[in-house]
Amino acid sequence: MITAIVIPVELDQPIRQQQLNQHDLDAYRQLVGGHLELVHFVRPPAGMYINDEGKLDGLPLNHRATALLWAHNSAFRNRDVIVGPAFVVGPADRRGDDTSAPTDLVELLFSTERYRAQVQTGDSSNWYGNELVFTDWLAAYQYVLDLADRWTLVQEVRIIPKPDDAMLDQWYEIGRGNLWIRHADDPPFTMASFSGCQSIDELEERLGYTNWSLGTAFYYRNLCFINQVDGGDEWLAIKTFWDDGRPNSLAFESITFARYIEEGRLKDLIERLLKASKEDCRRLTY
């Protein structure tokens, strides 16, 4: 069984997670109301099943599915739309079977309270955004897609969770309390030093650059890593736990990531850190 994200046409019908047998094509066809067509997301890798004859049958526009496809595969942006119901699954495994919808996308659509929009322009790999915060994921997607339509320099768009302000404040204070990080001056360590990553793959790409300035900080969900060596690879690891709805952040180790990346073990490390308890972090038994 896999978990799919089902996207009805009607905006008054919420999207939902649904368990599917990945070998039951009749169940797949029932969800889209006809023959199947698969279109692909690039970031994150995923697939969206739609009705192959939806346009011929005059099915109504699916605003949410179209927004997701345009944002997660820019080749479709302003070139094609999704009509009729749709559902999202993960990339095929080595046997060719569908997998569950990507965890990061599920977290974004079902467990995120506040959103920010970001864009990439030209040939830059950096993501840029503003201070606008959205409480509805569709509104965030529509905003950034409209921005891409009006600003011709935009190449890619994305929506990311807005981190909890109190959590971000704690990360900053922990960094300021570090002997090396607080002396960063080119650039100085500020709240602007923190950059969010949408996936473990993006985090690995960032950490693998290995030439970041002192005080550079990356976060993924409730994990934060702040560089303690100018141009080096020694990161202060912080994890935030929630006690009665309030963040409680713990700096627990300095980690060098190069060997994890070289040996293909970074994803396993990050997944173990995400599951680790406060006591695991304190004892370094994760």
- pLDDT of 241: 98
- Average pLDDT estimate for 244-258: 96
- pLDDT of 261: 96
- pLDDT of 146: 98
- Average pLDDT estimate for 21-37: 98
- pLDDT of 52: 97
Statement: residue 248 has pLDDT above 80? yes
Q: Kindly report the pTM of this predicted structure.
A: 0.90
- pLDDT of 67: 99
- pLDDT of 134: 98
- Average pLDDT estimate for 37-59: 97
- Average pLDDT estimate for 99-124: 95
Annotate the chain with DSSP letters as a single string.
Answer: -EEEEEE-SSTTSPPEEEEE-TT-HHHHHHHHTSSEEEEEETTTTEEEEEETTTTTTTPPB-HHHHHHHHHH-GGGTTT---BS-EEEEB---TTS--BPPPHHHHHHHHS-S-EEEEEEETT----EE-S--BSSHHHHHHHHHHHHHH-TTEEEEEEEEPPPHHHHHHHHHHHHTSTTGGG-BTTB--GGGEEE-SSHHHHHHHHTT--PPTT-EEEETTEEEEE-STTS--EEEEEEEEETTEEEEEEEEEE--HHHHHTT-HHHHHHHHHH--HHHHHHT--
What pLDDT, in 10s, does the model give residues 179-221? 999 999 999 999 999 999 999 999 999 999 868 999 999 999 9
Statement: residue 250 has pLDDT above 90? yes
